[in-house]
Amino acid sequence: MARYIFITGGVVSSLGKGLMAASLAALLQARGYRVRIRKFDPYLNVDPGTMSPYQHGEVYVTDDGAETDLDLGHYERFTGVAARQSDNVTSGRIYQQIIAKERRGDYLGATVQVIPHVTDAIKEFAQADTEGLDFVLCEIGGTVGDIESLPFMEAIRQLRNDIGRENTVFIHVTLVPYIAAAGELKTKPTQHSVRDLTSLGIQPDILLCRCEKPLPETERAKIALFCNVRKEAVIQALDASSIYAVPLQYHAEGLDNEVLRAFGIEAKGEPDLSRWDDIIDRQTNPEGEVTIGVVGKYVGLQDAYKSLHEALVHGGLANRVKVNVKWLDAEVFEQDEAGLAAKLEPMDGILVPGGFGERGSEGKIAAVTFAREHKVPFFGICLGMQMACIEGARNTAGIKHASTTEFGETTEPVVGLITEWMTAEGRQKREEGGDLGGTMRLGAYAAKLTGNSHVAAIYGGNDISERHRHRYEVNVHYRQPLEEGGLVFSGMSPDGQLPEIVERPDHPWFIGVQFHPELKSKPFDPHPLFKSFIEAAVRQSRLV
């Protein structure tokens, strides 16, 4: 049976519970254990699919088509274990399932209550699909004391009783703030947070203390005394130079050893952390640097493009260069066309990412034009590919009124709403004006690449599978005029109906993809497209 590690947070949000869970899983994995990480989100949305990136950061997508919290991206990047639909659940999804059962009469006339029905549903989720695993790490979103997280706290309290104390460990992540005026780290917020947690029936086994200065032994002992944990189980977590240094840092602080001790497992030898040593060596000793301009609409919040940023970093690791990312607001380019060249000329590569809605679209198209005309490496992702097709239609194929139906009625719908497509389960259909949540082309889909194309050379083959998240598609009926204008359709869905990749053979590096390759990139296994894009940017930097 799998052992469970439950991770809670206190004092404030954004302490890095997800990064901590991913790092601990990587350490256990480096010791030869099989791991899986799950995220419990207390908010009432069924999933984050309809939420603005400014509300909750990017939406991460799994192979099986789940729209999930961005922390699952950390989990995959650190462990290489593909996330699944069963690895993320929200209060909304739990209540939706319970209400559906109640309407069907599944509860046989019983009064449906938070305890036991909601807590039982949470426990079922935690224990589902865990065959062959040694450890399941479950992160509880939010902070202790949040009213919406109470059913989750009660569920994990019950689960310890259900499966035995020897099979569960509670880790609590807290803040130990530094008060500059006093010149001291203060332990009282941690004490209060642990007191709130114990009032819910959960006694933490390990405390991970986020602090910006080293935690003195006296303060560590004080926390241990007042929070009823071993002093060795009070782990300091200082800010790291890179998120990929966190596993090494936590191992140095003894986190993985303390977790094994809490389970009564004797640690045998040291974990194999060579992959992380290599990543940090490449990151701290680059042989050059490049600057990539990302022209988007959510640039005010980096978490909106979290996976994209990390994939660019991975491309840099593969080429042993530092990647400087410049976040450029596409709307600004619409208001200041003269300033567009000044902002884009210093870039060694230009990337237009995914997004939704018309805002900033003309600025993105202008960025595509600049990259095409000035022979700057260009990478268009999802909406970025669609903008590249509209730009090509207008400027190289002579279709002056080319647009997308996403932005309203148009006489030249180079991009249009997808109403049906084929999946492994059969034909999928969507209606205009239907629900927005969970109705896009989501998850992994196969594509066929043209044998002599640039992308086939990059991938090293003609058959690929990539993750999608979009509602609109490039209209295949415009293929001929676009290709006559120099924009080649080099990747198609297996049935030949949906364009997946476009490229310009007369350009040093110009590729647009309908999918999201950033979702599958890892620091120890960079995605080939990002590896190749940064390689092209390195060549571009040497031309300047």
pLDDT attached to residue 173: 97
pLDDT grade for 275, boundaries at 50, 70 and 90: very high
Burial 432-441 (b: 16+ CB within 10 A, else e): eeeeeeeebb
Q: What is the pLDDT of residues 123-175, one digit of tens each?
A: 999 999 999 999 999 999 999 989 999 999 999 999 999 999 999 999 999 99
* Averaged pLDDT for residues 211-238: 95
Task: Identify the active-site residue in 117, 382, 466, 535.
Answer: 382
With contact defined as beta carbons under 8 Å apart, do 85 and 62 qualify?
yes
| Whether pLDDT at 204 is above 70 | yes
* Averaged pLDDT for residues 275-299: 94
Percent of the chain with pLDDT over 70: 95
- Output DSSP code: residue 244: G
pLDDT attached to residue 230: 95
Domains and CATH numbers, the chain: 3-279 (3.40.50.300), 286-543 (3.40.50.880)
The Cα 498–Cα 501 span in angstroms is 9
pLDDT grade for 14, boundaries at 50, 70 and 90: confident
With contact defined as beta carbons under 8 Å apart, do 468 and 442 qualify?
yes
Q: What is the pLDDT of residues 439-498, one digit of tens each?
A: 678 999 999 999 899 999 999 999 999 999 988 999 999 999 999 999 999 999 999 999
* Averaged pLDDT for residues 64-74: 91
116: preceding bond cis by omega (within 30 degrees): yes
Nearest in space to 41 (alpha carbons), one of 65, 73, 18, 22 = 18
pLDDT grade for 357, boundaries at 50, 70 and 90: confident
pLDDT attached to residue 333: 80
pLDDT attached to residue 292: 97
pLDDT attached to residue 20: 95
Q: What is the pLDDT of residues 306-320, one digit of tens each?
A: 999 999 999 999 999
Identify whether 518 is a catalytic site residue: yes
pLDDT grade for 544, boundaries at 50, 70 and 90: low
Q: What is the pLDDT of residues 401-429, one digit of tens each?
A: 988 988 888 888 889 887 654 555 555 55
pLDDT attached to residue 335: 72
More confident residue, 544 or 94: 94
Identify whether 382 is a catalytic site residue: yes
Task: Identify the active-site residue in 454, 470, 516, 527.
Answer: 516
Residue owning tokens 């996976």: 307
End-to-end CA separation in angstroms for the chain: 59
Quickly count: other Cβ atoms within 10 Å of residue 154's Cβ.
Answer: 20
The Cα 138–Cα 369 span in angstroms is 46
